[in-house]
A and B are shown apart, each in its own frame.
Chain A
Amino acid sequence: MKKFIEGSYAMAEAAKLCRPGVIAAYPITPQTHIVENLSQFIADGELDAKSVNVESEHSAASCVLGAQAAGARSFTCSSSQGLILMSEVLFCIAGMRLPVMLVCANRALSAPINIWNDHQDSIAVRDAGWIQLYAENNQEAVDLIIASHKIAEDPKVMLPAMVCVDGFILTHGMEVVDMPDQKDVDNFLPAYDPPYKLDVDNPMSFGLLGTPDVYQETRYAIQKTLEDVLGMIPEVGKEFGDKFGRDSLRLVEEYKTTDAETILVAMGSVCGTIKDVVDREREKGNKVGLLKIVSYRPFPKEVVKSALKSAKHVGIIDKDISLGSDGALYSEIKSLLPSDQKVSGFIAGLGGRDIKLNSVENIIKMAREEENSCKFVDLNKDILWDKFKTI
C-alpha cells in the first residue's frame, strides 16, 4: 500500500515485515528513528521480537551475532562512529557466516564531529565480507532490506547484508513509499532455518581458532560466495520484481547510458539529483548518462566495465575518500578501464555538503575537460591554510 511516510519509519516497517526475532541497536543520529520505531512496534504488540538494550554498538553487533548464531533472524542498524565501533564484530559476523541484517544510515566520521551524510562509514567497513547495497530513495531502501534477506540467508550464501541509506536525506525525508503486504513478504521470504545453530541439546563451538592451515580457505570461501552473489542478485531481483513490481534489487542501474558520451557513476541518493541533471543536459542535446552502483559489495566488475566501455568521459562521484589515495569507487572503476579512457574522480558531499544541481553540472564539465583522479567539488579555499598557525 502506498503511504506518505518518513524514511526511517518505512525502513523500520520493512524490517518488521521480515519478522526479525532479535533486534539490538544503540542510538546514534541519524539512525535512531529506525530502532525507535521498531521498539514501538514491539511495545504495541505489532512485532513479536526481542529488543535488547545494549551499552554500545560493539555490544549491539555482538548481540545480533549471538542471536543469529542461535537461529534467530536478527536486525541492527547504526551510523558513523557507531558502525566503526562495531567493525571488529562485523568481520566476525561475516567470518562466522551469519546472515545478520544491518541498515547503515550513512554519516561522516569524526573528527571534526559531524552528524551529516557521506559514505565514509560504510566504505570504511567494506572489506568485512558483508554484502553492501546502496539505496537511492526510500522505496529502494525498503525493497533492498526485504530482498537482501533472501540472498543473505540462502544456504549457498550465509553472509550478512548491509543496506546503506543516506542519513537525513533518506532517513529523515518523507516521501511516497509503496509498502509491501505482510503475506507477500512471508511468501517471498521463508522463515530463517539454518542447518545448525547454537543449541544446548546439540552443543557446538562457533568462532573457532583458524590456524594457518585453515584460515586462508575461510577467506577463499567468502570471496567465492560473494562472486556467486553477483549472479544471484539479478535472479532474486527478478523474483522480487515479479512479486512486488519493482526492480530495486539489481547490481547497477543504467540511466540513459546507451548512447552517452559522458557517464557519471555514483551511489545512493545523489543519483536522483544526477538523473535530474542528466535530463536537463539531454534537453540541451548533451549525451550524458548515469551509472548507479547498487551493489558495491560484491562489486560487479564486468557489468560496470561493459556499461562504461563506449563512454568518452567517465566522472566518478565519491562521497568518501581513502585519504592519501582516491575515492573508493574511483579506484575500483579506474582499475577496470583501459588507460586511454578519460576517467575522472570527484569527491563531493562530504560531511553533508549539499550536492546541488550546479555541483553536478560542474562535475560533468570537468569530466569532459582534464582528467583528475581526486578532484574535490565545491571547495571553500577561504578556510584552508598552508601552515599550522596560531588562532
Chain B
Amino acid sequence: MIDWINTLIQGLLTGGLYALFAVGLSLAFGVMRLVNIAHGDLIILAAYLALVAVEATGMPALAALLVVVPAMALFGYGLQRGLLVHTVGKGLLSPLLVTFGLSIILQNLMLEIFSADSRGVQAGLLETLSLEVVDGITVGVLPLLILASAVVVVGGLQLLFSHTGLGRSFKATSDDPETASLMGIDPKRVYALAMGLAMAIVAIAGVYTAIRTSFDPLNGPSRLLFAFEAVIIGGLGSLWGTLAGGLILGLSQAIGFRLDPGWGILASHLTFLAVLVVRPNGLFPRTRDR
C-alpha cells in the first residue's frame, strides 16, 4: 500500500517537470497558433546555459535561474521579432517548417560546442534533500520544488491573462489580430512578448532539467514529445489543462514503471493515445473552431 502511494507521489512529482516543459508550448500555441518544433531543443539550450553559468561562476545551481530566465526571455523576444514573425498568419505549416529547421540548427550547434557527452549540473545538497511526510513516505525537496514551480507558473499566467492589460492584449490578438491592431495593439509586439514569456518558462524547465537529470544535445525531441502530449491531453488553449496533462503523463509513467520497469515511458505514451481516442479535443479544451 505504502509502495503504491509512493509510486503515485513520484508520478505527480515527475509530472511537474513535464508540465513545465509543456506550458511554454501551450502559451505560444494559445496566443500565436504557433507549434514550436524547436521547443524541446530550447529547453536543452537553457539547460546548457545553466551549466555554463554554474561552471563559470560557481554560483548555486538554482541561482542560474536569475541568469537563464532573462537570457532566454530576451532570446525568445528576438527570435519572434527577427525570424518567426515572417511565419505568422501563413497557416500552420510555415512555422512548423521554420521551427523544425531551427531545431536541427540548435542540435548541431550544441553538439559542436558541448560535444555529445551527457552532462548535468551539480546542485549539492539540494539533489539529495528529502522530507519524510509520514512513516515510509518521503518526498524529494527538488522534485517538490519543481512541481510547486509548475503550479505557480500556471497560476501566475492565469492571473496575467485574466487581470492585466497585457493578458487582455494576448487574448484579443489571439482572437483577431486585425481588430486588435485597430485598438492600438501592435500584434507583432504582442507575439514577441508572448514568445519571450514562453521562453522564460522554457528557461525554468531547462534549469530544472539540468539539475534533476543528465542531458545531451540530442535530448530536445523527447522533451518536445512530452510537452506536446501534455498539451494535447489537457486540451489546447487551457493552461490548467496543460498542468493536468503533465501530471497525468508523470502518473502513468510511474505506474508503468511499477508494473514493469520496461514499461514506464511506453505507459505514458499509451495514456496519451488513450486520451486521444476517448477525448480527441483533450480533457479541458478551450479552443473554438475558427
Partners in one complex: no
- B interface, CB within 8 angstroms of A: none
- A interface, CB within 8 angstroms of B: none
